[in-house]
Structure 1
Amino acid sequence: MKALACHCGSQTNFKDCCKQYIDGTQNAATAVVLMRSRYSAYATHNADYLVQTTHVSTRKEHNKKDILDWSQSNQWIKLEVLQATDNTVEFKAFYLDHLMQMQIHHEHSTFKKESGKWFYVDGEFY
């Protein structure tokens, strides 16, 4: 049986890539790795991980049910990381919405590292 390729587009199998972060067995080493794992969490409908990796300063804005509903109502196609700095990532997430229309979520995200863990803070949408 062929291993499932990771949703984040890394060309690595999911088990050896984002699954270890989503399962909590590893911490993301960089903001880019966290962002990729969060994309995979959307693709696998793991709202718990998305909430846990959102910084406490903005977590209250992110309702778990809303995250789960949005992740489940879309079919996640691919991720493109456009550029990154130590604590920002610009990316495009391609998906089919509930009407099966192609959509692009283009965002410049800010991340923060606290106590050895990276967290998503917020994003500017294009």
Structure 2
Amino acid sequence: MECPCCSGKPYEQCCEPLLAGRAAAASPEALMRSRYTAFATSNFDYVWDTTDPKYRDEFSHAANCDWMSSSLFTGLQVLAASDNGKEGTVEFIARFRRGPNPEARHHERSRFRMRKGRWLFCEGDVISG
């Protein structure tokens, strides 16, 4: 099965080891792709665990679980990714569908940081248009 993150790799060789806790993301892009896969598979615990504790208060567990379970994730496009070893950014467009609504897109530039040897999501800026 191809990985939901649209890397073109098999799920077992891409995001599955990260979501299963057998491997850590090697880069901000790898973490962002695995988080997209977690959204696509309704794995809120992984999203929570890979969010920097300083930013977890901004997440609503109930709202995110509801959004995940009522959405069909249809694609991911990484537009840019960078890191300096301690901090990084990823700009991406995630596509999804909710109920009978047409496909929607979420364009974001996310910030990540390395903490105790692990990449963690900090926050993201939604890009309009």
State the TM-score, normalizing by the size of structure 2: 0.92
SS in 1 for 2:111: strand
Following TM superposition, by how much is the alpha carbon of 1:63 offset from its aligned partner in structure 2, in angstroms?
Answer: 2.4
Distance 2:20 2:62 in 1: 19
Of 42, 47, 54, the residue aligned with 2:44 is 47
Matched with 2:110 is 109
Partners of 1:37 and 1:23 lie apart in 2 by 11
Distance, in Å, in 1 between the alignment partners of 2:52 and 2:4 is 23
Partners in 2 of 1:17 and 1:105 — Cα distance?
Answer: 22
> Please, which runs of 5 or more residues in structure 2 have no aligned partner?
none
**CA distance in structure 1 between the partners assigned to 2:126 and 2:79 by the alignment:** 14
| Residue in structure 1 matched with residue 61 of structure 2 by the alignment | 64
Q: Secondary structure at the match of 1:93?
A: strand
Select which of 2, 7, 24 maps to 2:4: 7
Number of equivalenced pairs: 123
Runs of 4+ in 1 over 4 A off after TM superposition: none
The TM-score normalised by the length of structure 1 is 0.94
Whole-angstrom distance in 2 between the partners of 1:88 and 1:99: 33
CA contact (8 A) 1:82 1:90 kept: yes
Identity value in percent: 37
Q: Deviations over 1:34-84 (max 9, x none)?
A: 000000000000000000000001011112222211111111000000011
Structure 1: 5+ residue stretches without partners = none
Residue of structure 2 in register with 1:77 after alignment: 74
Q: Are the aligned partners of 1:48 and 1:64 in contact in 2 as well (CA < 8 Å)?
A: no
Q: Work out the CA distance in 1 between the residues paired with 2:69 and 2:107.
A: 19
